[in-house]
Structure 1
């Protein structure tokens, strides 16, 4: 062959290389072995781990497959409560006072009292001797005499005679002759008349303390004990323009001496007179008196003191 090495030429080195490896292997088996020299810079290569078998996929629960759980209510948020003192107790304002009445009325039944004027006067034997025409009272309001119009024959010879009040007896329930004159009664003498200032009451003008006129006395009501109970007053032209009469309690009258004359007075204002029911001869008498003045109001604690006292009592109750 031309060019290159011959086949026998490259075989010799190969055989020599195999012989060398064979001799080195025999030394490892039969003689001490020398530790191989390891390069410190070369890191050992870990053998590849065995492949891990793939795990089966876990089942995934869907919303449709999962049963619906009841929702728990949210827990309430409890905030610490601050204890505050109770508010002061404010007492309600007192109700307005009831307005004081203008007048006081007293009912007098017709069987309990009889009008004096023009009532028949008889003697114990039943004979009518005349009619009562007036009552004379003293400064204390006590009846002293009665004036009787003694009748004559056919109206001729009529005369007015004053008899002591004690000489009469009264029967208000009697239909006729309600006044009985004692058979032994004698006319009042001049000495009795001069005992003090006296006042014929019929047609007397009743005034107020300031001198204003209230009305004119047109009659007097007497009970079975011979005590005056009321006077009938004509207030026409005094308070209103209409014809009107009222009854006033005898106890509401008082008598005052002026210029050696006796004057009856009563403390009735125009409003009180207008509030009085009218007098009627065929109905029970409604006698008027002025209403008493209202009693002074009791002293009350101020609202602040009342509230503080109430708050103190609440605090003591809480403890």
Structure 2
């Protein structure tokens, strides 16, 4: 032991350990997808028409299951200027989006006006009955 080591205080603490973060330890940046403005538009409020060109209403809600998959759309059907209309639920696969170049383009529903008119009304907090692409009524099955 040298003279300087002998004079060192007995209670000296070792230096605190430090962790250096290197680029390999850093979280990867989130992935980014760019969608062109002409390639996608929202669907809420969009007009829905039958294949025959009949006005079927407009989409007022999109229904997803617990896993986040889109299952159905609620359409404000019938009535005039919102009076006398009712919400019905159609299977997402019954909708055809085709060319949606702008917000004025409509979405096509592969059902007739008579099939949609026969569907029960959708009310929140009640079991959802979905009008399928074939025109059949089916309860929305929960995904486990």
TM score, norm. by length of structure 2: 0.56
* Distance (whole Å) between structure 1 residues aligned to residue 97 and residue 37 of structure 2: 13
Q: Cα–Cα, structure 1 residues 154 and 133, in superposed 2: closer, same or farther, change >3 Å? A: closer
Aligned-residue Cα RMSD (Å) equals: 2.7
In structure 1, which of residues 143, 157, 167 is the aligned counterpart of residue 84 of structure 2? 157
Q: Is the contact made by 2:39 and 2:101 (CA closer than 8 Å) also made in structure 1? A: no
Q: Is the contact made by 1:118 and 1:133 (CA closer than 8 Å) also made in structure 2? A: yes
Q: Is the contact made by 1:118 and 1:132 (CA closer than 8 Å) also made in structure 2? A: yes
**Equivalent residue, structure 1, for 2:139:** 192
Q: Cα–Cα, structure 1 residues 135 and 152, in superposed 2: closer, same or farther, change >3 Å? A: same
* Distance (whole Å) between structure 1 residues aligned to residue 51 and residue 110 of structure 2: 7
* Distance (whole Å) between structure 2 residues aligned to residue 162 and residue 122 of structure 1: 15
Aligned pairs, number: 102
Say whether residues 1:183 and 2:111 are aligned partners: yes
Give the Å deviation of 1:177: 3.3
Q: Cα–Cα, structure 1 residues 129 and 120, in superposed 2: closer, same or farther, change >3 Å? A: same
Q: Cα–Cα, structure 1 residues 177 and 121, in superposed 2: closer, same or farther, change >3 Å? A: farther
**Equivalent residue, structure 2, for 1:304:** none
Which structure: larger Rg?
Answer: 1
Which consecutive unaligned segments of at least 5 residues does structure 1 have? Answer: 1-95, 198-256, 258-319
Alignment of 1:48-59 (within 5 A): none
Give the Å deviation of 1:164: 1.3
* Distance (whole Å) between structure 2 residues aligned to residue 126 and residue 152 of structure 1: 17
| SS of residue paired to 1:166 | helix
Say whether residues 1:148 and 2:75 are aligned partners: yes
* Distance (whole Å) between structure 1 residues aligned to residue 34 and residue 88 of structure 2: 33
**Equivalent residue, structure 1, for 2:42:** 115
Which consecutive unaligned segments of at least 5 residues does structure 2 have? Answer: 1-21, 120-129, 132-136
TM score, norm. by length of structure 1: 0.28
More helix by share: 1
Give the Å deviation of 1:102: 4.1
* Distance (whole Å) between structure 2 residues aligned to residue 177 and residue 97 of structure 1: 48
* Distance (whole Å) between structure 2 residues aligned to residue 191 and residue 111 of structure 1: 35
Say whether residues 1:97 and 2:97 are aligned partners: no
Alignment of 1:13-52 (within 5 A): none
